[in-house]
Each structure stands twice: as C-alpha cells, then as structure tokens.
Structure 1
C-alpha cells in the first residue's frame, strides 16, 4: 500500500514504533493500574471487614461467657484469696469449657479471663485459666469504660500493651440486681489478624496477576483491531496531503473508529468547499479547552474551599471540647463562688453555640460531598421531641420562656435518630432564639395521612416571634441567608441551620415548610416524615 502513496516531499511517513505496540502498552498499563487500584481498595475494605469479623466474634464470645457466670457468686471473689473457693472453681470451669469448645476458632487459654474493679483506674485479674496471674493489676483502658460504667458490651481495634498486640472485647458480669460486678475480656493475638490479612494479600495478588495476563492478551488483540482502520485513515491523510482532494476513507462501523472515518471524510469535503471552517473549528477547540480548564479550576477551588472548612472545623472542635469540659468541671464543684458559677455558665453556653455552628458547617460539607451515610431505624418521634425539649429547657428559662410539648403516642417513623434529633433541635432552638422573653413555644407531634392515605408523622414548632415576610419565605431554607428578624437575646446566627434542616429532612425522605401570617404574628415550622 505504501508504494501507491505520493505525499508531499516534506511529509515524513516513516515510523520508529508501531501504533499497535504503543496501544498495547498503554492499554496494558491502564489495565494494570486499574487492577492494582481495585485490588488496593478491595484490600482496604476487606481489612476492615476482617477486623470487624474478629471484633464480632470476640464480642459474641465475651457475651456468651458473661451470661454463663453467676454474678452473685462472682461478687464474693477477692483475688488470690479466693483461688480454692467453690465460686472460683465454678467460674473457672465456665472459662475452661468455653476454651475447649472453641479453641479451633483461634482462642487461646491465656486470652480468656475476668476482672474486678479495685480502684478508680485499675482492675484486678480475678478468674483465669492460668491461675498464677490471678490478683495481678491491670490499668483500665478507655474501651473498657462503657462496660464497667454502663454494662455495655464493647470492643477495641488493634492495640499494643506490655504483653503484645491484641484485639479485645469486653462484656459485663451482672449480679441478680443488674449491677456490674466485673467484666469478661476475650482477646485475639495479632497472629490471628495477621494470618487473615496474609490470606487476603495472597488472594489479591493471585487475581491481580491473572487479570494482568488476560489484559495483556486482550490488549494485543484489541490494539490490532483498532490500529488497522487507523492505518487506513493515516494513508488517506497522506494522499490528501499530496493533493488528492477526492480521497475517501471506507466507513466500516458505527463505533469511534467509524466516527473518525466519517469525520475525516466530512473534513475533506468541507475543506474543499470552505477553508474558513478549519480555522473556526480550531478556534472552537481552543475555546473548549480553555473552558474545560476553567471548569476544572473552579471545581478544584470549590474542593479546596470545602476541604479547608472541614479541616478548620475539625481543628476547632478539640479546643472547644476542652473548654466545655473545664466549664462543666467548674460547674460541678460544690459551693462555688456565684461569679465563677455565672461566668462558667456563660463560657459553657458560648462554647456549645460555637460547637453547634462547627457541626453545621461539617454537616453541610458532608452533604455537598455526598459523604453522608444514614443509620435509619424505627424511632419514636415524640420521645425524641421530649428529649430535645429537655435539652433546651434551660435556654428557654434563661429568657423567661416556656416550652409546651404535645406528642401523640405511637408516632413512629424510620429515621436516622441523630439527624432527626438535630432537625428538631435546630427548629426548637431557632424558635427560642427569635421569640421575645415571656412567650411560649409550642412543639406538637402527631400522626397524619398524606394525599395517598399513607400514615406519616408531622412535627410542628410554633413560636410567638417576629413572623416571616414574603421575602423571608422565598429564601428561608437557602444557605448563608440572614432574615429580617433578629435574635431577641443577642444570639449569633450563621444562616446555615434551616439549610441543614432541609437537607437532612429530604435525605430522610420527608419534607419541611414554614407558615406565617406575616410580620409580628409568629411562625410555624413543619416537618413531615
């Protein structure tokens, strides 16, 4: 075919490497990167699942042992002094029976034991399969506190102590009165975790190598299939450059190569008619490139903005929580000087307000980034409303306001409890914030039927505040909007609260709206789930 071509003398038609080779290398490289990337994310996800499975297994084991132990008998044990008592032998038999029944699952005899609390920050080994360690002390880990203080089952991630690297779970031992008298700890040594991780790595490597081999074969075959029609188009381009304005490329399909052939034929025809078209197309391509670059720049600027807000908000939370902790500690000291008490309350109130603003920013960023994962469950909306009222009662009393909560029984809805709590809290705190002193805020929860006759829950918050104008109603749920009304107690407002409320309600499958008869006549906010 090359002998038939007569290009312009300045047109170099020689090649140093074939397109088929380049395409095969490119396709193989992209496929390899895709396999490695997919394998990496699969590995990360499965590592989390491995740890979660170990934690669930340990948690089940700890619960099984804890409910098998007689809490009243356990309460009589006193370390080494109880080694020869019937109660010790009975409880040790429970641990031994569990170990011998489950040792093939990876449990070891020195990783099943119980504690009793002997001081505010330390525990004592109480019952073990290795009796020589009974009576030794062990510092309380933070993960143990939910079990020790509240009787809740808890577990850890991977951690290290003076005895090695572990994953642990804890369950409370209860007496007949339901009091926590001790806790069961069940551990896996790191070799169990590492063995599972090693198996996962071997599996990913095997499938990655197999996929790479298949990708190379497919790349070679596909590149040959693609490069042949591209070669035909290149030959036509050479003929066209040599002055053959009637050259055409056969169109053999409706795919991208066929589209390229049609585009080439169209280009030849257009150049024959109008040379101006080419210059215009060039200008359009340049404009598109600039527009695309500008769009990417705007997207990057928006991403950096969200990232900066997220980082700044996270960095501000730690010192705020420390301030709140110290303020609460000052308020808990008895016989405190009234000035100190009053100032500590002001500090705590301001810190909570700032933390609320930060959480609103974080929520907004999470919603915009699509990073929200809802944990939905059936919940009593009336009970949630009463909890929010209790939380805000002190704020209302400081403004000589009264909150009246009316909730029908059985107002159940499938919601994310934390997000629904935040929605109610936002609406109620706004009503308190914008209502004058001495007024009443009404919170009502009831069941209603929608247009299709389906049962739903409607929550309303009615205030005696300044009301809403038509202009306010038009932009009520927009971001960073401050309405004509001002807080009556000098409180701050970011303009994010109602925007976040609307986002959460819509994510929960509900709707939110407001009604007002006008300025000076109060307003009512509704949420229907």
Structure 2
C-alpha cells in the first residue's frame, strides 16, 4: 500500500530551515520593536503632557501668591526699597525657594496705554535667590522695577490665551546659560476683571530629561530581551522545520511498507511531543527572565524615596512585565490544550465530592474579586459525587469563575453568584456575573480556540482566547457538557454539567 505523496501547500512549507528561522526572527523582532516603539512614543507624550500640566499648575499657584491691587500700586523704581515692594515680592520668593528647579520667576505689567511691558517683581532681586544662582555659577543680573520688558512671543495664541484668563505654555523649550527650560505665563486679573499683566515662570527640564533617559534605558533593555526571545523562537522554528523535513524524508523513503509507515507516523507524533517540550523549555526561561528582571527594576524603583519615584517609568516596566506574563500564560494554555486533545483519555478519574472543590475555587478567586469591589456569593448543594479527575475539573471551574471576575466591572455593588445544584442525573456548576453580557455573534464563537469576543477585561487583565476551549475539552473528557446563557448588557451565566454517580 502506497501513501499519498506529501506536497508543500504554501510558501512557508517551501522555506528551508535556515530561511524559516530568519523569517520567524524578522517577524517577531519587527513586531516587538514596533510595539516597543509605540509604547515609547506614547510614554514620551505622557511625560511631556505631565510636565505641561505640572508647569501649568505651578504657574497658576504662583499667580495666586500675588495681591493684584498691591502689584498695581508698584509704579516707580524708587519703591524697590519700600516695605510695600518687599511685601509683594516675599510670597514669590518663598514659592521659588520651595521649587529649586524654577529658573526665572517674575511678573510683568502690560501697559496698554503705551503698548509696552514692564518688569514689576523678580525673585532674583532677593539675596537668597541670587545666592542660589551664584552657587550654580549662573550670572546674576538684578531686575529693576518698571524696567522695560517687551517679551516677543511669535504666536498669536499668547494674546488670546492671556485675554481669556488661561495659562499659556510655550510650545518649545528654550535654552540659555541656565540650561533647557520651559516657560509658562498666567494672567493677572484685577478686581474689575481686567487683564493687567502676567506672572512668568521658567522651569528647568533636567528632571524631564532624566526621566526620558530612564525610559530610553528601559526601552533598550526591553529591546535586548525581545531580541534574545526572537532568537530563541527562531532557533526553535529552525529545529522544528529541520526535524519535520527529516521525518518527511523518512516517511517518503518507507511509503511502500504499511507498517513502516505506521512506525513513521508514531515517530512523528513523538517528535511533536518532543518539540512541544522544547517549546515549553525554550520559551519558559526567557519569559521568566523578562518577568524577573522587570520585577527587580520595579522593586528597585519602589524602594526609592517618593520624590524620586517615576510613575511613567513604572508604567513602562509594568507593561513589559505584564506582556511577558501574558505570553507565558498563552504558551501554557496552548500546550495544555494540545495535551488535552492529544491525550484526552489519559486522565485519572475518581469518585469525588463536588462541594469542597467548588468552595476551594471560590476561595481562590475571592481576593481578586474583592480587589475589584466585587462580592462572590455561593449556593452549594453538598453530597453530590461525580467520577472526575479533580485537578482537571478544578481547572475548568476556576476558568469560569476567574473569567467572571475578569469581565465584571469594578464596583462595590457588583456580585458574582456561584451555584452547585442537582439537575436530574447531573451536577450542574454555574457562574452568573453582572458583566456586559454577550451578543448573539459572540455566543456563536464561544468555546472555540483563539476566539476573541467583543467584551474586554475591565481591569487590564489579559485574555488568550483558549480558556473556554479547554473548559469544553475537560467537560467532554468527563462525559459532560458546557453552555452559556446571556443577553447583551445583562451579564452571563456559564455552566458545566457532569454525570452523577448512581444518578
């Protein structure tokens, strides 16, 4: 008996092991680099936005330190020695001393009648501020009261912003002997609601540059780890293709002998299992390395004093860590599903009381639900025994409960109800949530492999699209069945029915 000759069906099948390895490496590294680049751009934009928000708030706080009526009374340079000038300047000086990253802090009167601007208050006139500048080797130039100060802003938006009472942030940083700094201007409004001038604050960007350097370092570290992971996966693809080609050559050489063909098929199955083991080993170590290294970095950052902690950097590190954890979970579920399908009957059933097992699953998920403000209630009928592999069944039950927690919105009034009841000759385990529910289109795709539904997790959790497929496989291994009842917007009820002993 001759077997049908195996013909490659697509381009990938025609690639040599070396070419396939390079293709896999290029795809993985390219996609990972694109994702890391996008994350870096988004993080940079967030850091820049946070700097703008911080500067806007500082500028508004500085404006609140100023008594506008007192400010308007300062009209002559001779008043600089008067107590009224010192009283008006003192709040700005104290504000400046609290924030050493401030480069310049001064006020300007906008004299509409002669279309000129004049300096009124400048913190550099205070000896303490001047001393700080001298210690930093910055040139100190005092700013006399009513000195002409016609600041040129090549942006019509400046006048519009001042007239509207809002704060103006310069679109680009400026640089001088003080370094790089970003400026903001907040209007001064008198008691009649009239715009009379503004407070100017220029903020040193050295802290922003340090945060950007930290993000670049984190990005390079993530890129290095991604490159290593891509190389390992490419090596795995090379090994798989090489092994497959060798096995294919052996099958073709022995195609005229039926028993030899059977032996070759068994060898292929064994090779598949070996390759899956290689995949588990080769993927586990780099993924654990990524997770471990990011955990170390996160722990180091958390140990820093609060003022040195960087929220944006922590977000990037947590994104890398969560991505590696998600990939590890995906590999685990793929291998678990593959193993269940290939060896579906090789489980260890035993008579088992369902109630303690359900209670254990509920307790395992209770803390995560509580963290989201969700209450898990139970209704458990005790004494029902089924012929099951408890490890497999617990995995299926846990999948349904954890899914309910994952897709239920965070709110104190939300509730998940877990029930174990007697239903004819079956024990029925069900989980009812108050999540977004499923559309008819989503319900049609349930329990299939890699199915992604329109509902998304509510607290950043990950989803691989394999969990419900594994639940269905486990239930069918025990001569049971699964199902779902749902209406869009009204939550879901997922259930598993298992035959009762002596039911």
Q: TM-score, normalised by structure 2?
A: 0.40
The higher relative CO (CA closer than 8 Å, separation ≥ 6) is in 2
